[in-house]
Homo-oligomer: A and B are copies of this chain.
Amino acid sequence: MTRTAGSKGEKTLSALREAGLKRLYRQGFSGMTLRELAGDVGIQAGSLYNYFRNKQDFLYQVMVTVMEDILTEMEEKLRGTRTPREALMAYVDCHVSFHSSRNREVLISTMELRSLTPENYQKIVALRDQYEGQFRKILEWGNKEKSWKVPDAQVATKLILGMMTSVGTWYKPGGRYKISDLILIYQDMIDNLLHNEVSAHALDPALMESRLTRQILKQ
Contact = CB atoms under 8 A, between A and B. Distances in A.
Contacts of A177: 155
A214 B110 CA distance: 30
Given A114-B27, A196-B192, A214-B197, A162 B151 contact: no
A177 B166 CA distance: 21
Contacts of A110: 169
A152 to B, nearest CB: 6
A110 to B, nearest CB: 8
A200 interface: no
Contact of A31 (B30, B148, B152, B176): B30
Interface residues of A, number: 43
B162 A166 contact: yes
A152 B176 CA distance: 10
A114 B216 CA distance: 31
A43 interface: no
B162 A170 contact: yes
Interface in A25-78: 26-31
18 contacts: A26-B114, A28-B114, A28-B115, A31-B31, A110-B169, A148-B218, A149-B218, A150-B217, A151-B217, A152-B176, A156-B216, A162-B169, A163-B163, A165-B166, A196-B212, A196-B213, A196-B214, A197-B214
